[in-house]
Amino acid sequence: MKVEELLDSVLKNPATPEDVDTVTKQLGRYPRGIVAVGARCICGNPLAVITRPMLEGGVPFPTTCYLTSPEAVKAVSHVEAEGGMRIFNDSLAEDANLAEQYQRAHESYLSFRHALAQRLGDDESHIEGTSAGGMPVRVKCLHALLAQSLVMGKGINPIGDQVLTQIEDEFSPKVCRCALYNDRSNN
């Protein structure tokens, strides 16, 4: 899917007040700059949101795809605690094909954010060239990389995709585990 098509798809359904309330419960704080929900659980709760490139007060915010699901955050934190970032960084250094795919994921992220900034009239000059998660040369935050995979789909970020596969017993967007704040389903 092209960047403009993905952006159109995401922006068709802007974040509702109910979405903002759910994300507030998920994060334990009010989420600034939410434009839309980029990925949802099968029950409808947000998994990852799309955040403006420029927050209120002129604060630049490069993390456009932001993971909000507590279940996903917890599962990814387990991978990070087990040394996952080091393993992925070693893989990037050793595997030229993976590094090339990761570079393309970075470029996709920048293109998506740029298109979003243009639509919203946001200034992204302070974050130009900066994507998220350490892209394009290292792995710094698996949460951000998983968020990109959830929002943009499989095949865009190879490391985000690998993380999703790695945590599938603990988190999957196809299985509702929205235990603490689930107002939308009976699970």
21: in domain: yes
172: in domain: no
18: in domain: yes
Q: Say how far apart CA 2 and CA 63 lie, in whole Å.
A: 20
User: pLDDT tens-digit profile of 128-173?
Assistant: 999 999 999 999 999 999 999 999 999 999 999 999 999 999 999 9
User: pLDDT tens-digit profile of 33-84?
Assistant: 999 999 999 999 999 999 999 999 999 999 999 999 999 999 999 999 999 9
Nearest alpha-carbon partner for 134 in 78, 72, 86 = 86
- Residue 88, H or E segment: helix 84-94
List the domain range (segments joined by +) for residue 49. Answer: 3-166
- Residue 46, H or E segment: strand 46-51
Both structure tokens of 129: 């060239």
Contact 64, 53 (CB under 8 A): yes
Nearest alpha-carbon partner for 138 in 169, 170, 103, 178 = 103
Q: Say how far apart CA 171 and CA 175 lie, in whole Å.
A: 7
For residue 187, pLDDT beyond 70: no
33: in domain: yes
Q: Residue 179 has what pLDDT?
A: 67
User: pLDDT tens-digit profile of 84-126?
Assistant: 999 999 999 999 999 999 999 999 999 999 999 999 999 999 9
69: in domain: yes
175: in domain: no
Phi, psi (degrees; rounded to nearest 5) at 83? 90, 15
In the chain, the number of structural domains is 1
